[in-house]
A and B are shown apart, each in its own frame.
Chain A
Amino acid sequence: MSSTDGTAPPTAPPDGPRDEKLELGPVGHLGDRLFAGMARGSGVLVVAIVAFVGIFLLALAIPALANNESSFLFSRIWEPGANPPQFGIAALFYTTVISSIIAMAIAVPIAVGVALFTTYYAPKRLAAPVAHAIDLLAAVPSIIYGLWGILFFAPILRPVIDGLGSALGWIPLFQKSVTDNVGVVFTASVVLAIMILPVVTAISREIFAQTPVAHREGALALGSTRWEMIRMAVLPYGRSGVVSASMLGLGRALGETVAVLIILSVPNGNDPWTSSIFAGGETFASKIANNAAEFDSPDKTGAYIAAGLVLFVVTFLVNSAARLIVARSGPGGKRPRRIKRIGDKPQSEGATL
């Protein structure tokens, strides 16, 4: 019925020598040159902006650091206005990191669960609304999270804090606080967890949906249940993606300002420092935002800028680590080359970022 091959068209052009010379001269690559220039320019611009931010921070921080009488990295004192100025970031660093890590520990399991639910468990008409609702969480302004967190959520969380404090109070991290203050690090962490949930979920969902059909069917054909299929095929494939998604979420939590600023109660200057997450505290971002009105002398400003520089470096490192993990492993484990050779087309099931 159909022709067996596509060769030999019915009317072949007549053979024979041709008179005219072939045009093989330059055809004009203006578009190429323009576009290459623009692309290169944009790339350089982005790098330059990052570099300038770093340089700005350094230039303002160095003089203040030179005058600092305290150990900048290891002191918990923060009195940049004193004479001589004394300031250290240890307390800020601790609160920033511990609140973000707790936020990540809460958010990542939920995000992975939601991502798996929307990709492999939920019927299509349920999966889309759930995914959409999670995405909407990202659209809520952080000031709203802050207000909601302190006015509505913190009182609800209070019994949880009391319960944890009673049960695990012998661990310094969970030491029961003396006041019944609700603006504690733990509350901020839970709110941060809600805030980073959308990004972690979206990336995990996308990577899970891309698990090649061949791997999934391979697991199912061996007689695995859906959960066993997820464990054998989906999770190994998505592991690196989930790790990098968590790191991106962590980076976001580290730098979050307004919500944390509103929720966290600033400890009294005379109170002894505590490592408990059931006490108030200040993160880099909330400390700087709280004291923006104080930027009157170069020394004071420089102290806050120096704190900002540390935050910049930490988030930069976390994000770089995330990128490195993605670049090194790629989806599907160690061997992106292999996926190419086998020729599996990754299938995406309406996953969006």
Chain B
Amino acid sequence: MAKRIEVSGLNVYYGDFKAVEDVSMTIEPRSVTAFIGPSGCGKSTYLRTLNRMHEVIPGARVEGKVMLDQQDLYASGVDPVAVRRVVGMVFQRPNPFPTMSIFDNVASGLKLNGVKDRKKLTEVVERSLHGANLWNEVKDRLDKPGAGLSGGQQQRLCIARAIAVEPEVILMDEPCSALDPISTLAIEDLIEKLKDRFTVVIVTHNMQQAARVSDQTAFFNLAATGKPGRLIEMGPTKQIFSNPNEKATEDYITGRFG
């Protein structure tokens, strides 16, 4: 588990519009990498290309290479559905399936993979909920709807759902932006724990959060509205926040920009 992602020369287009230009980076396994940058700089778009979720949007396409260890995710014959089973995703707003119970929500990915054995399902659901720091809060009501939980609990339920299928990588698109500070703290603790087993990539608007949870930070920016977003700088989080190489990074981090 936990693989290295190597991206080279990646461009993302929506129809004719170039949204992200020429991104190359290496994301280390068992680490947390944060993407920061102003709104509209393409960091979420770029994140979605790492599990081909951008293809859900009509007209979106990609040029370049995304390698997961030795495998090109965009090689011909690669099924995006299979990619997403290996590279999981957690969204901005918690999105548990509203008609499913807590148990079924966590088990849903396994059922997609054809796991039917009740004992195995129970085992994985319990392990995943433990892994998402949610077990103690929900163990007595696994058959209740997931929608009845608080926002923060729902988000941890979504993380449990994502890790239940044992992905190599977990992508998180601003996972705390809809949550209160206490729930945010719970998610951040969880991210710290997840990196023992997974490669974690997180997009965040909250720079303190990036500084707290990530090992590596990548700063994205765009030259002007309507221009494509670019990767300005990437490095160890400590260095990016204390001594960035680029002026734009420093301006953004110190709040003089954006």
Contact = CB atoms under 8 A, between A and B. Distances in A.
Nearest to A221: B89
A334 interface: yes
27 contacts: A1-B257, A1-B258, A214-B95, A215-B95, A217-B89, A217-B91, A217-B95, A220-B84, A221-B88, A221-B162, A222-B84, A222-B108, A222-B109, A222-B162, A223-B81, A223-B85, A223-B112, A224-B81, A233-B97, A334-B99, A335-B145, A335-B147, A338-B98, A338-B148, A342-B93, A342-B95, A343-B178
B82 interface: yes
Contact of A225 (B81, B108, B162): B81
Nearest to A341: B151
A129 interface: no
Interface of A: 1, 4, 124, 212, 214-225, 228, 232-233, 236-237, 332-335, 338-339, 341-344
B67 interface: no
A221 B93 contact: no
Nearest to B96: A218
Contact of B165 (A218, A219, A223): A223
Contacts of A344: 93, 95
Given A217-B56, A237-B98, A335-B147, A222 B93 contact: no
A335 B98 contact: yes
Nearest to B51: A221
A1 B109 CA distance: 45
B53 A217 contact: yes
A223 B108 contact: no
A218 B97 contact: yes
A221 B108 CA distance: 12
Contacts of A232: 97, 108
A341 B108 CA distance: 23
**6 closest residue pairs by CB, A with B:** A223-B85, A214-B95, A221-B89, A236-B99, A223-B84, A218-B95
Contacts of B161: 218, 222
B94 interface: yes
Interface in B139-165: 145, 147-148, 151, 154, 158, 161-162, 165
Nearest to A344: B93
Given A214-B93, A218-B95, 19 more contacts: A1-B257, A215-B95, A217-B95, A221-B51, A221-B88, A222-B84, A223-B84, A223-B109, A232-B108, A236-B99, A237-B98, A332-B99, A333-B99, A335-B145, A338-B98, A338-B147, A342-B94, A342-B95, A344-B95
* Of B81, B100, B158, most A-chain CB atoms within 10 Å: B81
B98 A333 contact: yes
Contacts of B85: 222-223
A334 B98 CA distance: 8
A325 to B, nearest CB: 15
A237 B89 CA distance: 22
A208 B255 CA distance: 44
B175 to A, nearest CB: 13
B81 A332 contact: no
A218 B89 CA distance: 8
A218 B91 contact: yes
Nearest to A216: B56
